[in-house]
Chain A
Amino acid sequence: MIDLVLALLSGTVGGLLIALMPRCGSRLRNVVALSSSAAGAVFSWRVAGAVLAGRTIRVAGMNGGLPWSLHPDPLGAVFGLIVSTLWLFAAVYSFGYMAGEERQRTYYTYFLLAFSATLGVAFSGNLISLYLFYELLTLVTYPLVIHERTGEAMKAGAKYIIYSLSGAGAILIAIVITHSLTGNLDFAGGALLADVGLRTGLDWLLALFVAGFGVKAAVMPLHRWLPQAMVAPTPISALLHAVAVVYSGVYGILRVVYSVFGHELMGQLGSSHILPWVAAFTILAGVVIATQQDVLKRRLAYHTISQLSYILLGAFTLHPWGLAGAMLHMISYSTLKMTLFFGAGIIAKQTGKVKVSEMSGVGRQLPGTLTAFGIASLGMIGMMPLNTFWSKYYLMKGSVASGKSPLALVLIGSGIVNAFCFIPTVVTAFTGEMRQPVAEKRLEAGLMLVPTLLLAGIALLIGLWPGLVWPGVDAVVNRFF
C-alpha cells in the first residue's frame, strides 16, 4: 500500500519541488527530475510485482457521496509498468533534448505531474478515480503541448483541451448512467453491468464510453487533435502522444469492455460487431495517411493513430487470444514507437531536418540513431525477431478464433503499408548522398542516443524472449476470462 502511495506521490513531489526552485541550475533540476522518475518507476515496479504475485493493494474511501479507490489489478499494474519504465527513458532523453531550451522549469514540472496523473489512471480502482486522473492528465499535459508558445502550439493546445474535455464529458455521462444502473463503480469484482444483463440502451452507453475514451485513444474520426499536438517537444510527443496520454484512452476502453461490460455482455450487444471494424478502419486509414505525410513527426502521429487501434482491435475481439495480443501490443508498440520518436528527435536536433524527403544520407551522419530507427521500423511491420511479431501473431489468432478472420487480413494489409511507411526512409538515409557529417558523440547527443538504443534493445530482447513479459499478459487474460 505504501508503495502505491509513494509511486503516485513521487512525480507530484518532484514536480512541485522543481516548480518551487525557480532559479536553480539545470543540473540540480535534472537530478530532481531523474530521481523522482526513478523513484516512481521503482515503486510502480514493486506495486506491479505485488499485484502480479496475487496480492491485493487497495486504498479507498468515500468523498461527497462518491466512492474513490486506488486498487491496481493486473491490467492496471501492466499499464503502470509500461508507463513508469518509459518515463525514466523519456526523462534521460529530455536532459539531452531540452539542454539549452527555454522554460525548462515549466517543462519538468508538468512532465513529472503528468507522470503522477498517468500512474493514477493506471492504478484507479473505480470509475470515479479513473475519471479524476483522466481529467487531471488533460490539464497537466496542456502546458507541455504548448511548450513552444507559438501560434501553432497555442492552437494545438486549445484543440487538445476542447477535444479532451468533450470526451471527458461523454465519459462522465456514461459513468453517471452506470452508477444509476448498478450503484457500484468498483473494478474489483466481476464486470459491473454483468448483473444488469442485456437491456435496451446499453449500446448507447457503450458508444458514450468508447467515444469519450476514444478521443484520447485517437480513434478515427476523433483523432484530429493528435497530429496537431506534435508541435510539442519530441520527448513529449514520444511519451505522451505515443504512449501515456493516448494509452490512458486505450486503457479506458479496455476497462470499459472488460471491467464495466464484461466480455460476455459485450458479445450480446449489437455494437460489439461494429467496433472491431471501426478499429480496423482506423488501422488502415491511419497508416495510409501516414505514408502521405512528409513531415516525419506527423507521419509518426498518424502511424500512432493506426497502431493504437491494433490494441483496440484485440480488445474488441472479446477473445482471450485477442486480449493477449492487445496486451502484448500495448507493451511492444510503446518501446518501438518511443524509439522512432526519439530517433526523429535526434535527427531534427542534430541536422535540423524534419521532413522525410530531406533525410537522404542522414544514416551515415547519425549511424546509431538510424540503426535504432531501422530496427523499430522493422518492428512496426511485425518482423520476426522483434516483440511486435508476437503481438501481431496473437491479434491474428484472436481475430480468427473469434470468427472475425477478415480482421486478420486487415492486420496483414496494415503490415505491408507499414513497410512502405518507414523502410524506404531508412534505406535512403543510409544509401543516399552524404551531407555534412554531424557529431553524434557530444554529451547531449549521448543522453539522447543511449535511451534510443536501449529501447530498441529492449524491443529485440522481448522479441527474442517473449516469456519476459508473458506473466503480465497472462495475468490480465486470466483476470478477465
Chain B
Amino acid sequence: MTATIISNLPVFVVITPLFVAFILSTFARRIRLVESLVITVLALGVLGAGYLASLVLMRNGIPIIYSMGGWPAPWGIELVAGSLSAFFLLLVAGVSLPVALFTVDNMTHEVGGSVRTTRFYVLYLLLAGTLAGMAVTNDLFNVFVLVEVATLSCCGLVSACKHPRAAEASFNYLILATLGSALILGGIGFLYIITGHLNMGFASMELSRIWQDYPHVVWIAAGFLLVGFGVKSALFPLHVWLPDAHSTAPSPASAILSGLAVKGYMICLIKVLYNLFGSTLIQKFALHRILALLGMVAIIAGSLFALAQDELKRRLAFSTVAQVGYVFLGLGQVNAQGLTGTLFHIASHAVIKSGLFLAAGAIIAATGKTRISEMVGIGRKMPITMAAFTIGSLGMVGIPLFSGFIGKWHLLSGSLTAGSTLAPLVIVIGSVLAAAYLFPIIRTAYFEPAQAIDGQDPGVPQRIALILLAAGVVILGVAPGPFLELAGRAAVELLALK
C-alpha cells in the first residue's frame, strides 16, 4: 500500500488540483463549498508535498520516478520527483495555501459575483496544478504544455478583477507571453530535431554526444529558450508586461503571480539548462555569462524602476523584476553554492513577495489608497498587516534572521567562488536599493507625523494568511534546515550532469 502511494505521489500532487479545478464550476452557486474545496485540496497538497519532500530527503538523492500510462521512458512520459521537484512542490503548496486562505470571504467584492469568483478559483487551482507539474515533469513537450496552461491561467487571473486597466494589462501579457511560448516551442523543436528525444534525460545524453555537429542549432535553441523563458519570468528588459499585469490583478492573484508563477518558469528554465544542456555545455556556450550579466542588469534596473514608483503595487511589481535578476545572476554561477543560493532565493522571494502583495491588498482594500505617500500612519491602524509587511521587507533587504539573508549569503559565496568581482557588488547594491524602495513605505506607515488615515486589519482568514507568510519569512531565516538541505541537494544533483 505504502509503496503504491509513494510511486503514485508525483502524479497525484499534479492531477488532484487539476481535477478539482474541472469539477469546481459545477458548484458555482455555492461559494462556501467552492472555497472549502479549494482550501482542502491545497491543504492536501501541503501534506503531499511535505511527505514527498521527506521521502526524497530519506532516499538520499534517488528520485521517485512515475511513468505515465505504464510506458517507460523514452516512449512514455516520465514524472521525476527529485530534490529540485520536492523543493519546488513544497514551495508551491506552502505559498498557495496561505494565499488561498486570504481569498476566503474576500473575493466576491473584488471579483464580483459567485460565478466570477468560482472562475477565479478554477484558474487558481489550474495554476497551482500546472506549477506542481512543472516541478515534477521530465519531458520537454510537457514543459511546453504546462507553460501554456500556466500562461493562460495567469491571463485569466490578471483580468479577473474589475480594475479599469486590467483588460489591457491582461491583453498585453497575453501577446508577449504567447510570443514567449512560441519561442519556447521553437527551442524545444530544434532540440527535438537534433536529439530525437523529448525526455530530458535521453535528450541530454544524445545532445552531449552530437552537439559538436550542430553548434548553431544548439545556439539557436538555447537563445530561443532563454528569450522565451526570459519573457515569461519577466527578465529585464523583457519584463514590460509584468508591472501592469501584477499591479492591476486582484491582490491574491498578484501574490500568486509574483510569488509563484514567475518561479515556475524559472524552474523550467533551470531544468532545461542544467538537466538538458548540462553544466559543461552551459560553460562551452558561455550561457552562464549571459545569464549572470542579464541578472545583474535586472537587479539594478528593476530596483531603480521600483524606486521611482509611488503606487504601492507597482513598486512591488518592479521589485519582482529586480529579484528575478538575483535568480538569473545565481543561475550564471555554475557551482553548488550559487545554485543553492538561487533556489533558496526563489523560495524566500516567493514567500516574501506573496506576503507583501497580500499586505498591500489588505491596505488598499481597507483604505482605498493605492499610493505610498497617502498611507500615512497605517501601521498604527492596521498593526498585523503592517507588521507582516515590515517582516517581508526586512527579508527582502536580507537582514540576518530573515529568509533573504540565507539566499544572499549563498549567492555571494557562489559568485565569489566563481571568481566574479562585479556580481557580489551588484548583490549588495541590490539589497541597499531594496531598502531604499521598501523602507520608505514602512517609514510612512509608522513614523510620519501627519494625521493617520483610517483603516483596520482585515478579517480572520486574511490575518492568518499574513501571519503564516510572515512566519515563513522568519522560519526560513532562523531555521531553514530541511529547505536549505533540499536546495543544496538539488544544486548538487543539477551539477552532477556534466
Q: State the A residues within 8 Å of B (CB).
A: 63-66, 128, 131-132, 135-136, 139, 143, 146, 149, 154, 157-158, 161-162, 165-166, 169-170, 172-173, 176-177, 179-180
Check if B435 sits within 8 Å of A128, measured CB to CB: no
Q: Mark B406-422, 1 if CB is under 8 A from A, else 0.
A: 10110011001100000
Give the dominant DSSP class at B's interface.
helix
CA distance A131 to B399 in the complex (A): 9
Residue of B nearest to A181 (CB): B416
Give the dominant DSSP class at A's interface.
helix
CA distance A161 to B447 in the complex (A): 15
Residues in chain B near residue A169, CB distance under 8 A: 428-429, 431-432
B210 at the interface (CB under 8 A from A): no
Check if B447 sits within 8 Å of A146, measured CB to CB: yes
Residues in chain A near residue B409, CB distance under 8 A: 66, 172, 176
With A135-B400, A176-B416 known, 16 other A-B pairs at CB within 8 A are A64-B478, A64-B484, A131-B400, A136-B400, A143-B447, A146-B447, A154-B443, A157-B443, A161-B435, A162-B436, A165-B431, A166-B432, A169-B431, A169-B432, A177-B416, A180-B417
B481 at the interface (CB under 8 A from A): yes
Cβ-defined partner of A132 (8 Å) among B400, B439, B479: B400
Residue of A nearest to B340 (CB): A65
Residues in chain A near residue B429, CB distance under 8 A: 169
Check if A128 sits within 8 Å of B400, measured CB to CB: yes
Residues in chain B near residue A66, CB distance under 8 A: 406, 409
Check if A173 sits within 8 Å of B428, measured CB to CB: yes
Q: How far is the CB of A400 from chain B (nearest CB, A)?
A: 39
Check if A64 sits within 8 Å of B412, measured CB to CB: no
Check if A173 sits within 8 Å of B449, measured CB to CB: no
Q: How far is the CB of A169 from chain B (nearest CB, A)?
A: 3
Check if B435 sits within 8 Å of A165, measured CB to CB: yes
- Give the 9 A-B CB pairs with smallest separation, nearest first: A169-B428, A149-B449, A132-B400, A64-B480, A176-B412, A173-B424, A165-B432, A64-B406, A176-B413
B127 at the interface (CB under 8 A from A): no
Q: How far is the CB of B279 from chain A (nearest CB, A)?
A: 20
Q: How far is the CB of B445 from chain A (nearest CB, A)?
A: 13
CA distance A65 to B448 in the complex (A): 39
Residues in chain B near residue A179, CB distance under 8 A: 413
Residues in chain B near residue A154, CB distance under 8 A: 443
CA distance A444 to B408 in the complex (A): 48
B397 at the interface (CB under 8 A from A): yes
Residues in chain B near residue A165, CB distance under 8 A: 397, 431-432, 435
Q: How far is the CB of B402 from chain A (nearest CB, A)?
A: 10
B62 at the interface (CB under 8 A from A): no
Q: Mark B211-247, 1 if CB is under 8 A from A, else 0.
A: 0000000000000000000000000000000000000
B496 at the interface (CB under 8 A from A): no
Check if B484 sits within 8 Å of A65, measured CB to CB: yes
Of residues B399, B417, B480, which shows the largest number of chain A Cβ atoms within 10 Å of its Cβ?
A: B399
Residues in chain A near residue B439, CB distance under 8 A: 161
Q: How far is the CB of A310 from chain B (nearest CB, A)?
A: 30
A-B contact pairs, 9 of them (CB 8 A): A131-B400, A139-B399, A161-B435, A165-B397, A172-B428, A173-B412, A173-B425, A176-B416, A180-B416
Residues in chain A near residue B478, CB distance under 8 A: 63-64
Residues in chain B near residue A172, CB distance under 8 A: 408-409, 412, 428
B365 at the interface (CB under 8 A from A): no
Residues in chain A near residue B484, CB distance under 8 A: 64-65
